[in-house]
Structure 1
């Protein structure tokens, strides 16, 4: 049976962030994920996890100035030291919160930086992060993202990401497969998941178009959930979607999927 985690950066946004943990538990979620924990102390977040019986599933490495439009700095050659400091910060939080994986958003390729230079920087940064996290008992994951929502994002396709991971050469780096992003960029979801299942550590979902909950768009989620079950996928599925008409009103899909 699939394990679904509420993405608190997109669900239950009608209440303050720390109150979303309770809302997620009351809605039947057993795990939570979100973009970043760094606006709060790890102890604050841990208190809300424990009070609501939730597993901390995932958050991202620090990703630069999010409000200003940055979406990661791993491909920025001039910000390697900032990236490395972010790895240390993420480890501090993960060890308190108990989550065993963190995601790296590699970022938008900077103007004036060649493809080769950006790729080399990403490889070196992921290699550093993978080994540092491995020593702390934490898995590093990274994801391709569609170029419609984030133009210029450096990683866009499954095969591109896995080829880059091969160059990193770490057994502590796996793929975050976001169904929504990959439907837009390449389709062929079920065969791709099956082909690369051993390298997928985390799955995220939203329907397309609109990035709303399953059942609002073109993706056959009942088939995909059954497909993941048949394949023996035992990781979490992060619900990273924009509710079409309120989070609670749109959770009917979850009852039928569990």
Structure 2
């Protein structure tokens, strides 16, 4: 597997710009960042180049989503705000030479508006994919469990596959998060075995605590083997909340770990 580390959740013992070197010292040649926008593009480029790692994925800015709001990508009244967020994302994504950009659907807090929110999200997702294909950057979208994020629009595996079928866009694939899908009781064996051609990025954490492998009940080693045996050729990102200093939680990497 092509492993990468999520610098938004891991190595948080140090500031973001120092996490690149930390990750590299632990054997990661690739990283991802949820929202890199608090740092300048120039500083991020310097940090990644100094550490000799690549940034494989970032998210489009999501407005107030992380503080309990609905976000940007599905709210009909915020299409202009989403367009501005996408412009900013493209500036970062192209400068950082990322492989993929993830679009967070966000919440719908009024069930009566759900149909319109789905329409808006699909429109914004296609708009994003059309814009990014010119830069050879893949567009992904993910399902997030409704226990951690109540009201999240895309929250079932079926949402991923049905939307892929409806849009049938060559530059859109699903981002499949083992933690979120396990929290929703989805059939991870089935999805990883039969849907690998529709998956553009994979993330993992143990569950239910979202800690490192071995802190919960998810058979991650088995899932890693399924991924390796499948046709999936993308990155597999550790996106967990370490229960202790990050360097002490990497035993699951085995011989990949490099001496610090």
TM-score w.r.t. structure 1 length?
Answer: 0.95
Q: Determine helix, strand or coil for the equivalent of 2:173.
A: strand
Q: Find the aligned partners of 1:3 and 1:61 in 2 and give their Cα distance.
A: 23
Q: Find the aligned partners of 1:43 and 1:9 in 2 and give their Cα distance.
A: 18
Q: Find the aligned partners of 1:152 and 1:143 in 2 and give their Cα distance.
A: 14
How many Å apart are 1:61 and its aligned residue?
0.2
Q: Determine helix, strand or coil for the equivalent of 2:49.
A: helix
How many Å apart are 1:230 and its aligned residue?
1.0
Question: Match of 2:197?
Answer: 198
How many Å apart are 1:66 and its aligned residue?
4.9
Q: Find the aligned partners of 1:241 and 1:94 in 2 and give their Cα distance.
A: 23
Contact 2:10–2:240 (8 Å) recurs in 1: yes
Question: Match of 2:8?
Answer: 9
Q: Find the aligned partners of 1:46 and 1:215 in 2 and give their Cα distance.
A: 34
How many Å apart are 1:35 and its aligned residue?
1.0
Question: Match of 1:77?
Answer: 76
Cα–Cα, structure 1 residues 159 and 67, in superposed 2: closer, same or farther, change >3 Å? closer
Spell out, residue by residue over 1:115-170, the C-alpha distance to the aligned partner (whole angstroms, 9 max, x if none): 21111111111111111111222110000000000000000011112212333332
Contact 2:157–2:186 (8 Å) recurs in 1: no
Q: Determine helix, strand or coil for the equivalent of 1:59.
A: strand
The CA RMSD over aligned residues, in Å, is 1.6
Note the 1:127-142 alignment, pairs <5 A. 127-142=126-141
Q: Determine helix, strand or coil for the equivalent of 2:101.
A: strand
Spell out, residue by residue over 1:89-138, the C-alpha distance to the aligned partner (whole angstroms, 9 max, x if none): 11111111111210001101143751211111111111111111112221
Contact 1:101–1:139 (8 Å) recurs in 2: yes
Contact 1:72–1:104 (8 Å) recurs in 2: no
- Structure 1 segments unaligned to the other structure (5+ residues): none
How many Å apart are 1:179 and its aligned residue?
0.1
Question: Match of 2:167?
Answer: 168
Moved segments of 4+, more than 6 Å: none
Question: Match of 1:159?
Answer: 158
Question: Match of 2:223?
Answer: 224
Contact 1:140–1:172 (8 Å) recurs in 2: yes
Contact 1:76–1:110 (8 Å) recurs in 2: no
Q: How many equivalent pairs are there?
A: 257
Q: Find the aligned partners of 1:184 and 1:209 in 2 and give their Cα distance.
A: 7
- Structure 2 segments unaligned to the other structure (5+ residues): none
TM-score w.r.t. structure 2 length?
Answer: 0.94
Deviation larger for 132-141 or 164-173: 164-173
Q: Find the aligned partners of 2:71 and 2:164 in 1 and give their Cα distance.
A: 17
How many Å apart are 1:71 and its aligned residue?
6.0
Question: Match of 1:61?
Answer: 60
Contact 1:225–1:257 (8 Å) recurs in 2: no
Question: Match of 2:206?
Answer: 207
Q: Determine helix, strand or coil for the equivalent of 1:22.
A: helix
